[in-house]
Structure 1
Amino acid sequence: MTPNKEDYLKCIHELRETEEKISNKRIAEKMQFSAPAVSEMMKKLLAEKLIEKNSKTGYLLSEKGQTMVAGLYRKHRLIEVFLINHLNYSPKEVHEEAEVLEHTVSDLFINRLESFLDYPRVCPHGGTIPKEGELLIEKYTQTLSSTQELGAYRLVRVHDYFQLLHYLENHQLAIQETIELLDVDPFAQTFTISFLEKELTIPHSIAQHLYVEKING
């Protein structure tokens, strides 16, 4: 499996988390590849039975594709834990490094790294780390964009996109921060929160990449 194919599979997985239908156009936009290049790769992935396609949802990962993606995220997220906890990388710095390493390290290395790290179950961005041979089932699935009930929440997971992490760092909004959802504006598609004694209005385009957990009591 080439790194290029692996990146396509991860792209489809990530789009599936926020979108109902995945098209060649959306994949091309996200990966910044040409439409002909995406079309050609989709044909290869379909032929290898790594993905499936139907008219309602567009592209889906097959069971084989899901298994491969789980392995990629397992590698990526364990490497992130190591880089942040032992090499003092920042959450913003770590993604690009892990993106390169996930395509080069062996399963033996990852299994020993997991043991060395004492079997962490979530990465620094709140994503679930599947065990060897497991499919990826995220622990945190409630996005801020799907939240309507006002009240106290904890930010428990974010997609590790460089621009998103830069945005959060600029606003001093970190994983495990307690936030208060003050207002949801359906027309403007914005979500106003308070934290650290300040307010922030977040657009839907960003809120769909932030995952929260209700704080009861």
Structure 2
Amino acid sequence: MTPNKEDYLKCIYNISISKEKVTNKLVAEIMNVSKPAVTEMLRKLVNSKLIEKDNSKGYTLTEEALILVSNVVRKHRLLEVFLLEHLAYPTNKVHEEAEILEHAVSDFFIDSLDKMLGHPNKCPHGSIIPQKNIILEDDIILLSEALQGKIYYVKRLSAKKEIADYLLGEGIKLGSKIIIKEKSSLGKIIKLEVDELTISLSDHLASHIFLATNNL
């Protein structure tokens, strides 16, 4: 599996988490490549039986691809823990560095790293570190999709430094208790209570905050 194919599979998985239809256009925008290049790669992935075309969901990952993505995510998140806890990397730098390293290290290295780290179950951003060869199941939703009046907890923030820094400045951090108080009629502005402090966010910023109904 080439690093490029792994990145495409991760991209499709991440889009599907937000419950958006996975289209050529959306993949091209996120991967920052041309639509013809995306179309060609998706064709190869379909032929390799790693993705399937669905009329309602767009492109979806097969079980084999889900396991591949899960193992790449496992590598990435274990590397983040290592960089933060043993090399003293700043939290906002570990994601970018792990993106580079995840394609370079072997499975044996990652298994050894997992053992050395004491088999951590969460990365520095609060996401679950999946077990090897087990399909990743992050039971999370976007803040922009959260129901009004229900209690949620922040499980992950955007990996984009400028957005994560802004959200932290607004008091939104891992583990924060969030209640949606009000949504505008067009769904563009969301008023929410964060640890008993009321703030307003745009729908765009809300799409960079991941929530769960438990704080485990």
The 1:101/1:17 distance shift into structure 2, 3 A limit, reads: same
Secondary structure of the equivalent of 2:75?
helix
**Cα distance in structure 1, aligned partners of 2:64 and 2:160:** 25
| More displaced 10-residue stretch of structure 1: 15-24 or 170-179 | 170-179
Give 1:6's aligned residue: 6
TM-score (norm 1): 0.88
Give 1:202's aligned residue: 201
CA contact (8 A) 2:18 2:141 kept: no
**Cα distance in structure 1, aligned partners of 2:132 and 2:179:** 37
Matches within 5 A, 1:184-195: 184-195=183-194
- CA apart distance, 1:60: 0.5
- CA apart distance, 1:78: 0.7
Structure 2 residue 86 is matched with structure 1 residue 78: no
- CA apart distance, 1:207: 1.8
Question: Which whole-Å deviations, capped at 9, do the CAs of 1:114-142 have from their partners, x for residues lacking one?
Answer: 1111111121222221111111111x313
Secondary structure of the equivalent of 2:134?
coil
Give 1:55's aligned residue: 55
**Cα distance in structure 1, aligned partners of 2:185 and 2:93:** 34
Q: Where in structure 1 do 4 or more consecutive aligned residues deviate above 6 Å?
A: none
CA contact (8 A) 1:46 1:52 kept: yes
| More displaced 10-residue stretch of structure 1: 32-41 or 156-165 | 156-165
Instruction: Give the length in aligned residue pairs.
Output: 215
Amino acid paired to 2:140:
T
CA contact (8 A) 1:143 1:211 kept: yes
**Cα distance in structure 1, aligned partners of 2:47 and 2:97:** 31
Secondary structure of the equivalent of 1:22?
coil
TM-score (norm 2): 0.88
Give 1:31's aligned residue: 31
RMSD, aligned α-carbons: 2.2
**Cα distance in structure 2, aligned partners of 1:22 and 1:55:** 10
Secondary structure of the equivalent of 1:122?
coil
Question: Which whole-Å deviations, capped at 9, do the CAs of 1:151-173 have from their partners, x for residues lacking one?
Answer: 65421223434443233244342
Amino acid paired to 1:120:
P
Give 2:119's aligned residue: 119
Matches within 5 A, 1:28-177: 28-138=28-138, 140-150=139-149, 152-177=151-176
The 1:110/1:23 distance shift into structure 2, 3 A limit, reads: same
The 1:58/1:207 distance shift into structure 2, 3 A limit, reads: same
- CA apart distance, 1:214: 4.4
| More displaced 10-residue stretch of structure 1: 4-13 or 201-210 | 201-210
Secondary structure of the equivalent of 2:154?
strand
- CA apart distance, 1:94: 1.0
**Percent of pairs with identical residues:** 39
Question: Which whole-Å deviations, capped at 9, do the CAs of 1:191-210 have from their partners, x for residues lacking one?
Answer: 22244775431222232332
List runs of 5+ in structure 1 lacking aligned partners.
none
